[in-house]
Structure 1
C-alpha cells in the first residue's frame, strides 16, 4: 500500500516506480557486482517484509478509514523518527531542499495512504494489488505528457496490456457490488498518486524524497480521521494496525530504499512484482479469500506485461565497464 522506490526513469523507458508508496533515492551510477548482489538480497528481503502487510490490514478488522488513520499516524511517526536519526540536524535542510514541491509530494503520499487502505479493505486483496500494479505504466504516460519523455513501443504495449488486464479484473468485480468496484477505483487512484510522486521527482532530479514520506503518512492519518469509525476496539486490532503501519511499512521501505540504490531499476521492479503475487496468496491461504477466475485472468495479463517490460529494460540496460564500476 500502500509503498517503494526506484531510480530516475531512463529515456524512452518510462518511469518505473515500485508497487507501493516509498521514498525515491538516486541510484549509484554503476554498482559493482558485490554491491549488486547485496542490493538484490536487501530488496528481496524488503519485498518479503512487505508481503504480510495486506494480511495484517485485514486481520485488524477495522473500518477502512480508522485503519488508514492508525497506519498513517504509526508509520509517519516511526519513519519521521528514523529520518531524524539518519539526517540529524540536516533533516530540516533536506525537507526545505525539495522546495514547494515537497508539499505536493507529502500530499500525494497522504492521499495514497488513505486510498490504498480503502482499496485493500473494500475489495479483494488481489484486486487492490493489481490495481496498484498499474503505477509504473501510469508513470510512463505521465512522464510522456508532462516531461516529454518518449514512450518506447515495448512500454506502449505493456500499458495496453495492463489496461486490458485491469478491465478483466473490473469485469469480475462488477457482480461483487459497488464497494468492490469502489475499492478497485481507489487502488487505481492510489497508483495515479504514486505515479505523480515519481514524475515530480523525475522533474526535480531530487536525490531523496525520504524526509517527506513520514510527514505525508502523518497527514494521511489526519485526513482519514474525520471519516473514521472506531467503535469498540480491541487491543489486538490496534496491534495489527501497528504491525502494518509502524513495523512493516517503515522496515520494508528502509530495506528497499537501501537495496535499490545498488540495483538497476528493472531488477528492482521485477523483484517487487513478487508482492503482487505473494500478498494475495498469503491472504488466500490464511483467510480463504479466493481471488476468482476474472481476477486470476486479469492478474496473469498484468503481471505478464509488467514482467516482460522489466525484462526488456534489464536486457536493454548497458552493462557497466570495469572502469566505470565504483571501487
Structure 2
C-alpha cells in the first residue's frame, strides 16, 4: 500500500515537472516572440518606393493647403501600422496628412498651418512606447530620401545645404521666396558652391551685372541655351550673405518675376515654373525645350529641400495665429 502511494506521488511529481517544463517552453517561446517583435519594431521598414508615396502626398498637400514634412507623415504612419508601412495605401497616407492640418479663417481668407508630429501622436492616443517609436523612426529618416546618398552628413550636397540654409531662411522672411527654391537655385547655379563664380565672386546665383548694377563686377565664361559658351559680366560680392540678399532683391525689383507669378506661387513646383517663365535662365535641352523648372524641381526633391518649406510655413502660421 505504501508502495502504491509512493508511485502515485512520483507520478504526480512527474506530471507537475512536465507541466512546469511545458510552461517554461511556452514562456520561452513567448519571450522569444516578444524579442523578435521588438527587434522588428526597432527600425522603420521603408523602401524608396514607399518614400516616394509619402513625398508625393506631402507635396499634394503643399499645392492644396500647406507643405508637410513627409518624414513626419511616415513616422506616424509606421507606428500606426505597427511598422507594416508597406501595407499603407495612398488613402491612409492622405488621412494621416489631413490629421496634421490646422485651418484658420481671417479677413475672409483661409490660412493653413500644421501640427507638430508629437501633437498628432497625442491626438491618435499613442502610448508612451508608440510615441517614443515615432521619434525614433523620424530620427532614422534623417538621411533617407529619394536620393539618400545626397542626405548623408558627409556628402557635399548635404554640407552645402546646411551651409546656406540660414541665408535661404533670411531670404524667405525678407522677400517671400520659398527656401527650397532659394537653396535649389544656389545649388544649381553654383554647382553646390564649387563653381569658379561662387568661389571667386561669392556669386551663388549666376546674376549678371546689368545696367542697374552699381557694384563690383567680374567677367567670366558662361553657358547659354544649350551648351553655347560666351563671356559676360557678373556681379561680384564680398560675402555669401550679400549674394543671397541681392538675389532676393533682384527677383523683387524686376517686374517680370512678379508678372510671371513667382510671388503668388504657394509651392516649390509652381515657383520653379514661374521663375522659368520670368526668364531667370535660358537653359535648354538638345531639343530646344526649356528645362530650368524641371532641374530646380528635381534638385528640391533629391535633397529634401521641401522640408525647409514645411518648417518656415508652419512657423509663419504659428507666429500669426498660434498653434491651438
Structure with higher Rg: it is 2
TM-score exceeds 0.5 = no
Determine which structure has greater relative contact order: mean sequence separation of CA pairs < 8 Å that are 6+ residues apart, divided by chain length: 1
TM-score by length of 2: 0.25
Q: Which has the higher strand share?
A: 2
TM-score by length of 1: 0.25
